[in-house]
Amino acid sequence: MRGAIIHAPGDVRVEERPDPELVEPTDAVIEVTATCVCGSDLWPYRGIEDVHGPAPMGHEYVGVVREVGSDVSTLQEGDFVVGSFFASDNTCEICLAGYQSRCVDARPMGAIGTQAQFARIPLADGTLVATPGMPDDDLIPGLLAASDVLGTGWFGASAAEVGPRKTVAVVGDGAVGLLAVLAARQLGAERIIAMSRHDDRQTLAREFGATDIVSERGEAGAARIRELTNGLGAHSVVEAVGTQESMMQAIRSTRPGGHVGYVGVSHGVQLPGDELFFSEVHLHGGPAPVRRFLPRLIDLILSRQIDPGKVFDLDLPLDRAADGYRAMDERRAIKALLRP
């Protein structure tokens, strides 16, 4: 089959890879309908994370079940399924508490590489959620977004305890930040401040429900949020970048007793304990347990109540994956969808 391989920073190629096979009786093999390039894929692409290549790439996917192992009981050949970037058993104590991304048996899908024609999905019963019937073509991008960026933005909003009567600020205007805006809207936030300095992303943020835009960043950005909130700070702040600057911007934008939900994969961040202590905020985040949210997200998408697929502003055949990486790296695209 064809699949994307990273050889070195900046060097992603689509090549022949072995067809996946069932390995464990809890596995399924799916034919990938759509996959995409993640903001976090840019860390190795940019050489900020070490590349131990050649290595397969991709951890977002929707597809059709082609084969199931003997222990798989909830899925059948032909089912259209959505999964997430960690395979999880969905039965352990941690999964049952809603933290499937930290399942005691969690398997990172990035190591399998879903930017490919087919993919082996471990722990298929726990990991995959089947849609009722085959979804309309135009809903594929939305369902693919649920696989990671929507689920991650939703977790960020949820970790930030977004809800009615609350003012929410979102740090980061990538796909996750934009979809955190959408999540905040769905979760009933009264006011949603998107922090963005790019016209096209501001437009999409407004479409997703942002009521205010703040273009300042860092300390100036936090000061602006406090200005907009009677000097107190927002009730809920979603951090969707992962740098020292963005984390401090998020913490300093939050009122005492408020909540920071952080979902940007942390790179080189050191949080000063004394400032955190006196800030008196709640901090929660990490790799999103997308599986917790998938049934609700799929339902919202299929019933056309939300359209998260709008974050895909580039649609390419899988063979042009390298162009997708390049466009996102150069910020010419918010997010690139790849069709095998």
Q: Which residues lie near a copy of itself (CB under 8 A)?
A: 93-94, 97-99, 101-102, 104, 230-232, 242, 244, 247, 255-257, 262, 265-274, 276-287, 289
Structural tokens at position 220: 């100036």
Residue closer to a copy of itself by CB (options 174, 289) is 289
Residue closer to a copy of itself by CB (options 78, 98) is 98
Please state the closest distance from residue 211 (CB atom) to a copy of itself, in A: 20
Contact 210, 233 (CB under 8 A): no
Residue closer to a copy of itself by CB (options 251, 297) is 251
Structural tokens at position 22: 């069932």
Please state the closest distance from residue 327 (CB atom) to a copy of itself, in A: 27
Say which amino acid occupies 280. E
Please state the closest distance from residue 103 (CB atom) to a copy of itself, in A: 9
Nearest Cα to Cα of residue 241 among 178, 193, 183:
178
Residue closer to a copy of itself by CB (options 33, 229) is 229
Residue closer to a copy of itself by CB (options 139, 240) is 240
* CA–CA dist 289, 309 (Å, integer): 20
Which residues are registered as beta bridge partners of 262? 239, 285
* CA–CA dist 84, 59 (Å, integer): 7
* CA–CA dist 337, 226 (Å, integer): 37
Structural tokens at position 98: 């809603």
Whether omega for the bond prior to residue 54 falls within 30 degrees of 0, making it cis, is: yes
* CA–CA dist 68, 340 (Å, integer): 21
* CA–CA dist 319, 340 (Å, integer): 7
Residue closer to a copy of itself by CB (options 18, 273) is 273
Please state the closest distance from residue 8 (CB atom) to a copy of itself, in A: 23
Please state the closest distance from residue 140 (CB atom) to a copy of itself, in A: 30
What is the DSSP-derived secondary structure letter of residue 109?
Answer: G
Alpha carbon separation from 202 to 233, 260, 262 (Å, rounded) = 21, 22, 20
What is the separation, in whole angstroms, between the first and last Cα of the chain? Answer: 10
Please state the closest distance from residue 244 (CB atom) to a copy of itself, in A: 8
Name every residue whose Cβ is closer than 8 Å to that of residue 319 and which is 6 or more positions away in sequence. 2, 14
Residue closer to a copy of itself by CB (options 97, 134) is 97
Please state the closest distance from residue 31 (CB atom) to a copy of itself, in A: 32
Please state the closest distance from residue 284 (CB atom) to a copy of itself, in A: 4
Reduce the DSSP state of residue 303 to 3 states and report it. Answer: coil
Residue closer to a copy of itself by CB (options 225, 327) is 225
